[in-house]
Amino acid sequence: MAQTEQNSRKGRDIICFAGCDWWYHNRGLFCPQVIIRLAKRHKVLFVNSLGTRIPSLRKDRNAAKKIARKFRSIIRFLRKVQNGMYVLSPVSLPLSSHFGRKLNTYCVFLQVKLVSTLLGFREPVVYIGCPPALEVAKKMRNNRFMIYERTDLFEEMPGAEKSYIAALDRELAETADLVLYVNRALWDEGVKKNKNSMLIGHGVDYDFFVHGAESKFVPEDLAQICRPIVGFYGDISDKTSDLNLLEFAARKLPDMSFVFVGPVSADVAGLRVFKNVQFLGQKPYEQIPLYGKEFDVAIMPWNNNRWIQFCNPIKLKEYLAMGKPVVSMYYSEIEPYRDIVYVAKDYDTFVSCILEAVKERDPNKVQERRERVRNETWDSKVEQIKAAIEKGLRQSSIPNLQLAVQELPR
């Protein structure tokens, strides 16, 4: 079976140590979107996130839920999810000591080695989306081309051991054969240390969101909510969302419905007291455009912190592909879109922007927003990544890799 699968693929095999879990995280993220497309031409082993932190039952209100979903992921172990793509949920222990990390590294390495051997992987490209995977990748590094997806300031993840994650991140950013960036500030810093650094930005599943926005279907849990709807989809978390801002806006705009679609990891008790605030819970990725299209205004209520400073939210381009008026608190990556997005720098301006955006009636603005991201598709991003991989393989000093570059699609 492995040989038949290999014959149907035309590119180098890829082992991806993802920064998310295939079974419960948002598949609209950078890593899944890129890997899904690479799997059309390459055989891929997608290794679910090894994690940057251990949930604390005492400090994390959702710790039990996170542990349960991780357990459900692990018992799946290895599954084929599409032609050319397998998902592995390796077994590891919740240990953060030096010995515990070493033990987990060896344990995960053995599982990945066994599975990749059974699947017929030979000299695969190693793609890393979370810093802890570096320790496993080092054991596999001989004659391998390594890619690092540096999409966030990983050490700023709440609960992460900052010094440990920062050290791994630094080593990856300096030594990887190709480093992918979506944030200019991170890239400006990284390219000085590694000339193989590429500022690529996020893509958007353009046709998916455009077609979804044109659907006549209205989700049942949205149908009875009073308009205008000020909407947000995604994780409501302390690291990204300014909850005080949201409470301020809900209080100032009692005649507008504030609708949140997605998981809630923050304490939102202060928001739940407002009658005009609705939490609809997490929805499958396939349904997101059906909810987003019902927003009269789409918001991005970001915190002013280091996580936001060094990120680049994917949902901006998704909102724009649906043609929605967007109101956002300022962050550096919004600069290229300031002419088509309502940008606020304080609470009062955020509310004023919502009031202005909800009055929009110009269909030309809808089309203008869509046109701005029409060519920013994930397909176009993956073509750029493929070209960068091919260039890197050609320039590699590793003989096996120089020969294997002929297998890459042109």
DSSP 5-27: HHHH--S--EEEE-SS-TTTS-T
The CA distance from 303 to 331, in Å, is 9
Q: Which residues contact 215 (CB under 8 A, 6 or more apart)?
A: 289, 290, 293
The CA distance from 292 to 301, in Å, is 16
Q: Measured in Å, how far apart are the chain's first and last C-alpha atoms?
A: 26
Q: What angle do CA 51, 56, 58 make, to 5 degrees?
A: 170
Tokens of 298: 């789409």
Query: Which amino acid would we find at residue 339?
Result: D
Place of tokens 């480093």: 179
Query: Count of residues for the chain?
Result: 410
Residue 88's SS3 state is strand
41-80: b (≥16 Cβ within 10 Å) or e:
bbbbbbbbbbbbebbeeeebeeeeebeeebeebeeeeeee
Among 134, 201, 82, 400, smallest CA distance to 126 is for 134
Tokens of 274: 């407002």
pTM: 0.88
Q: Does residue 273 contact residue 247 with C-beta atoms inside 8 Å?
A: no
pLDDT of residue 264: 93
Sheet arrangement for strand 257-261: 277-281, 257-261, 229-233, 297-300, 326-329, 342-344
The CA distance from 124 to 116, in Å, is 9
Tokens of 158: 């709440």
Distance of alpha carbon 265 from its chain centroid, rounded?
A: 17
The helix (H) or strand (E) run that includes residue 15 is strand 14-17
Q: Does residue 17 contact residue 137 with C-beta atoms inside 8 Å?
A: yes
User: What ranges in 85-219 are assigned the alpha helix state H?
Assistant: 98-118, 133-139, 162-175, 184-190, 206-213
State whether the Cα torsion 380-385-388-390 is positive or negative: negative
Among 329, 332, 323, 361, smallest CA distance to 342 is for 329
Pairing mode of beta strands 78-82, 85-88: antiparallel
Tokens of 256: 């507008």
The CA distance from 56 to 163, in Å, is 19
Give pLDDT tens digits along the chain (410 positions). Answer: 444 444 445 668 999 999 898 988 878 899 999 999 999 989 999 999 886 555 555 555 666 777 787 888 888 999 999 888 999 999 887 666 777 788 888 999 999 999 999 999 988 999 999 998 999 998 886 667 999 999 988 887 766 788 889 999 999 999 999 999 999 999 999 999 999 999 999 999 999 999 999 999 999 999 999 999 999 999 999 889 999 999 999 999 999 999 999 999 899 999 999 999 999 999 999 999 999 999 999 999 999 999 899 999 999 999 999 999 999 999 999 999 999 999 999 999 999 999 999 999 899 999 999 999 999 999 999 999 999 998 888 876 544 333 333 333 32
- Quote the DSSP letter at residue 49: P
Among 176, 173, 203, smallest CA distance to 189 is for 173
Tokens of 181: 């960036």
Among 109, 112, 127, smallest CA distance to 78 is for 112
The CA distance from 145 to 252, in Å, is 54
